[in-house]
Amino acid sequence: MLAKLLFAVLIGVSVSSLSQGSTLKCYTCNSDDDVGCFENAESQRIEECGHVIADLSSTRFRCMTIKGVKGNEKIAVRRCAVNDECEFQLRSDKFFEWGPKIFPDASCDECSDDLCNKN
């Protein structure tokens, strides 16, 4: 009887440890590497934020999507981020700088559910 009780406790602790180790999952891509990133996030790579962002509480993890359009050119960046990172990604005038390119009136959105950065 005691052996069964100890076994049940051990299983409970193991399952609890596994669930604590999981982190937020986000689509990860950018339009420079894959033109499908702008409109088709569900075909993109998925990353666990805990593997990308070290030394932070998983409660601060977010999925982020940045989109911008300039003429016929479109840019999208999807990735793991930390809470309120959009405040630092866009300039105060809502311009997004991607290398030498500047996209006016860009958008940046954060969300906190698995694979929520598909829009």
Tens-digit pLDDT profile for residues 95-116: 999 989 999 999 999 999 999 9
Is pLDDT above 60 for 39? yes
Contact (Cβ atoms closer than 8 angstroms) between residue 109 and residue 87: no
Measured over the CA atoms of residue 112, residue 79, residue 106 and residue 70, the dihedral's sign is negative
77 belongs to a structural domain: yes
6 belongs to a structural domain: no
12 belongs to a structural domain: no
117 belongs to a structural domain: no
Is pLDDT above 90 for 40? no
Provide the whole-model pTM.
Answer: 0.77
Residue 55: what pLDDT?
Answer: 63
116 belongs to a structural domain: no
42 belongs to a structural domain: yes
107 belongs to a structural domain: yes
Q: How far is CA 78 from the centre of its chain?
A: 7
Residue 6: what pLDDT?
Answer: 32
Which tokens is 19 given?
């669930």
Q: How many domains does the chain have?
A: 1
64 belongs to a structural domain: yes
